[in-house]
Chain A
Amino acid sequence: MSKFKKKTDSGTPAISTASLPDIVFMLLFFFMVVTVMRDSSLKVQNILPFADQVEKLDKKNLIMYIYAGKPSPRYQETYGTEARIQLNDKYAGIGDIQQFIKEERQSKREELRDKLTTALKVDKETNMGLVSDIKQELRQAEALKINYTTKEGDAMLNLQ
């Protein structure tokens, strides 16, 4: 009965999976870090137009999003197919924009307030009438920095 005798089972040794959790955790942390939670679910159709003279929008916390477009198919029965505006999580009218801008400004630190940009995510089939109304409201709310959010690509693709 010596101490060094346990050489009984022969055959291929099992592959150690002890480091599997480490690998998975590594991946987990990567995705945790790069994740940006979608803060609002889209209720409007949102196929953005193409443009190639674009600038990147960094600093996600300094952007106010205004969506516009036709209601998504599952809402069309209730709301029809007329293009609508979406602020945060719900449909809004033209008159709600100024209030929305005001609230967004209040929620930011004072020194950052004039750096706020409004990103217009407008579906490419929307009529310009609605977009100009939005722009007029933004002018009145003194939110003058705007960005027409687009996908990168040839602008001629919009015309088809």
Chain B
Amino acid sequence: MAKRPAPEVNAGSMADIAFLLLIFFLVTTTIETDSGITRKLPPIDDEQQDPPPLKEKNIFIVLVNAKGDLLVEDEPMAFEDLRDAAITFLDNGGGTGDEACNYCQGPGDSDSSDNPVKAVISLQNDRRTEYGTYIAVQNELVAAYNELRNREANRLYGVDFTDMEAAFNDPEFQGDVDKLKERIKKIQELFPQKLSEAEPKR
């Protein structure tokens, strides 16, 4: 009764095979999450409605030409100043009576916007404007809104608005989602993002 041992499988090349697979996945891997500026496009209305009447002082006009120069409210401006100019305009709160703004901290100039709820930023660019310039302008204007919203969120709830939004978008958020949603909505009502983009000029 000779007990023959089972032949051993040579596992020496296992490491080679595993390395081969490893290198393949190493090469094809891209660990990246995309991020960017999220916007919503306006839907196309078939029936042409008359736009609601807007007072001229409630519109903040930003023009970008083909060379990437800025014209803000009929005056040339450097990119660095755009954010502050937008904040000053939105936060002006020059309205009186029904249109008064009790949370604005701006100068209250009667020639600038009445109320953040009424204030509209209008952006128009040339067809030859570079995309990078356009993104820079968008970024500054979104930053202006975010800054004001953060200020209000800090005043009312003691947190940053951007943090609240990040928590709201996080699927693993532990806590009262409805309450958070309500707070976000409240802040958005205080400073609604009214950014209108005109068709580019030919």
Considering the chains assembled together, what is the distance between the CA atoms of A53 and B38 in angstroms?
9
Interface of A (DSSP majority class): mixed
B22 within 8 A of A: yes
**Residue-by-residue, is B89-132 near A (CB-CB < 8 Å gives 1, otherwise 0)?**
00000000000000000000000000000000000011111111
Picked from A52, A119, A135, the residue with its CB within 8 Å of the CB of B41 is: A135
A97 to chain B, nearest CB (A): 13
Could you say which residues of chain B place their CB within 8 Å of the CB of A52?
139, 143
Could you say which residues of chain A place their CB within 8 Å of the CB of B14?
21
Considering the chains assembled together, what is the distance between the CA atoms of A17 and B135 in angstroms?
54
Could you say which residues of chain B place their CB within 8 Å of the CB of A129?
127-128, 200
Picked from A36, A127, A159, the residue with its CB within 8 Å of the CB of B131 is: A127
Tally of contacts, chain A with chain B, CB under 8 A: 163
The 8 sampled A-B contact pairs (Cβ below 8 Å) are A53-B142, A53-B146, A117-B38, A123-B131, A131-B134, A146-B41, A147-B39, A155-B135
A138 within 8 A of B: yes
Could you say which residues of chain A place their CB within 8 Å of the CB of B22?
24, 27-28, 31
Within 8 A of A (CB), among B127-185: 127-136, 138-140, 142-143, 146, 165, 169, 171
Considering the chains assembled together, what is the distance between the CA atoms of A48 and B89 in angstroms?
30
From known contacts A28-B25, A127-B127, A128-B200, infer whether A148 and B39 are also in contact, taking CB-CB under 8 Å.
yes
